[in-house]
Amino acid sequence: MDSPRSPHDPSAYLESLMQAGQQSFKQFDDAMAAAMGLGDKQAERETSPFVAAANLQRDAILQFWKFWNTTLVKALGVESNIEPGKGDRRFKDNAWAQTPYYDLLKQSYLLGSKQLTEFVEQAQVDDKTRLQLKFYARQFIDAMSPSNFAATNPEVIRTAIQTRSASLAAGMNNLIEDIQKGRITRVDESKFEVGGNLANTPGSVIYENELIQLIEYTPVTAEVEKTPLVIVPPCINKYYLLDLGKGNSFVEYAVAQGHRVFLISWRSAVPETGHLTWNDYLTLGPLKAIDVAREIAGVDQVHALGFCVGGTILSCAAGVLAARGQDKLSTITLLTTMVDFRDTGDIGLLIDQGHVVLREATIGNGGILPGKELAFTFGTLRANDLIWRYVVDSYLKGATPDAFDLLYWDSDSVSLPGPMYCWYTRNTYLENKIREPGRTTQCGEDIDLSKVKVPLYLLASREDHIVPWKSAYLTKDLMGKEPRFVLAASGHVAGVINPPAKSRRSHWINDDVSGDADAWLGKAEEHPGSWWGDWDGWLKRHSTGTVAAPAQAGNADYRVIEPAPGRYVKLKSN
């Protein structure tokens, strides 16, 4: 579409911009009508809900242009150089920079976003309230981007014209399907199968209760470490993040290094498990899994590894064992885990007193927190990447999502029992009690994490928006002994799932953990590639030797129930 490139006469320039905008709206109206099969039927076009919505948006934006025309003409002589932040791909299309109409849209939006952000920064409120205001302001700013609306996104209009409105029709179908699902589809789900190309490391389910299945993986080495490894994944996601497929699996790697691996597969909450509490998660989860692994391997102790919330659960289970004087752990590994919840990042802003009290009143004594609610909450932390990008691509452009294993896993959410969720949020995000000796009673024991006296390996991710790395660093002062802290590049997931064979990203190491996080990082040495090899070497330094690999899984008391990955991980909460 044609529009002038240099505003010699501001009034004429704005008038031409309005004409260009009206032309864009007209093209969008025609494309939408064609997609609806309305053609030239003017009366039906005017009463169509989709066209009516577009008209409302058009009218609102035209009023916006009139405001600019009457109040800010004089300012047009000054060039605006406001640009999107690093990594912001919403305005990557050339039209946002080369067409004055879209450039002014972009600049207006970015200027308004900047002003709103600065207004919140200057609000006379306490620090936590300011952070909450910033979070909700960002949600509003992200939602109001002109790239999110069909009539003001040049890519959407161009695609509709090029496809003769087929893209709009496909987008409507995608929207209807997602309304039926109750969630945004971000990945081509037909390309993945749990137990097929995901969660396919060979193994057997050798124990189950109402909450977990315990998988023992098949050794691939002639000898295995005598001390087995028990993995506790997060209970708010499916475990196969740690077993995404051949060549991209932490489980596969651990087995290949000669570790005898056991892994918990959490069951998504269903009505008959809606009564389960935090204590049930400790008792039926890691405490039971540790005992089963010890009995099968014929040892007194196990190595234990927890990831994210699984790490918090494992830490509390270790506190219970310490309170009981039970020396069942040889080492503890915590991956992107918080135990001290003083600084929880953006997610902590969503869990305030009102949120917890409401949940306690509705599901605190029984009920279910649906997995799709948890998934949406995490999505809002990076709304441009995890929500609006897919709204635009799927609903406005009619595109089919890509096949991406991490996004499939992220969409395969898990529901939680209400009592468990309420205890967790109150005692961590809200009141931060578990770090303080004697502040919580778990499984009938007063918990003091400082009594957990086993070697500790801590892994954090430098760009983690769920577990800030400096919060993960604080754990070294709360529990364990001889702590080793390693910082991975990237975010919460990509920093952890980084197979050595791919030679991607890097990690930082500093043996001196006596100072604070900034002091540690200041002297840390960067190493290229994955941290997995460092962890494997550390674990083997705490080895008790090797034994011949078992010929079969389980034992006489714990027989094979079914092949891995088992039934629980295949249950859908969405």
Active site residues: 308
Using only the alpha carbons of the chain, give its radius of gyration: 27
Task: Classify residue 441 by burial, with Cβ atoms within 10 Å: 0-12, 13-18, 19+.
Answer: exposed
Instruction: Give residues with Cβ within 8 angstroms of 282, minimum separation 6.
Output: 313, 316, 317, 320, 442, 443
Q: Quick one: which H or E segment has residue 288?
A: helix 288-297
Instruction: Give residues with Cβ within 8 angstroms of 446, minimum separation 6.
Output: 323, 437, 438, 440
Q: For residues 566 and 352, is the Cβ–Cβ distance under 8 A?
A: no
Both tokens of 97, joined, read: 């920079």
Q: Which of 119, 105, 116, 120 is nearest to 151 (CA)?
A: 105
Taking the C-alpha atoms of residue 111 and residue 73, their distance in angstroms, rounded to an integer, is 16
Backbone angles phi, psi at 457, to 5 degrees: -115, 120
Q: For residues 429 and 351, is the Cβ–Cβ distance under 8 A?
A: yes
Distance of CA 552 to CAs 1, 203, 222, 261, Å? 69, 10, 13, 13
CB atoms within 10 A of CB 419: 22
Q: Is 65 helix (H, G, I), strand (E, B) or coil?
A: helix
Taking the C-alpha atoms of residue 285 and residue 296, their distance in angstroms, rounded to an integer, is 17
CB atoms within 10 A of CB 445: 17
Distance of CA 523 to CAs 81, 298, 482, 511, 513, Å? 38, 42, 18, 9, 10
Q: For residues 484 and 457, is the Cβ–Cβ distance under 8 A?
A: yes
Provide long-range contacts, Cβ within 8 A and 24+ apart, for 280-283: 280/211, 280/417, 280/420, 281/211, 281/235, 281/313, 281/420, 282/313, 282/316, 282/317, 282/320, 282/442, 282/443, 283/443
Taking the C-alpha atoms of residue 419 and residue 279, their distance in angstroms, rounded to an integer, is 10
Q: Is 232 helix (H, G, I), strand (E, B) or coil?
A: strand
Within 13 Å, how many C-alpha atoms sit on residue 541's CB side? Answer: 11
Q: Which of 9, 494, 468 is nearest to 244 (CA)?
A: 494
Instruction: Give residues with Cβ within 8 angstroms of 193, minimum separation 6.
Output: none
Taking the C-alpha atoms of residue 496 and residue 326, their distance in angstroms, rounded to an integer, is 30
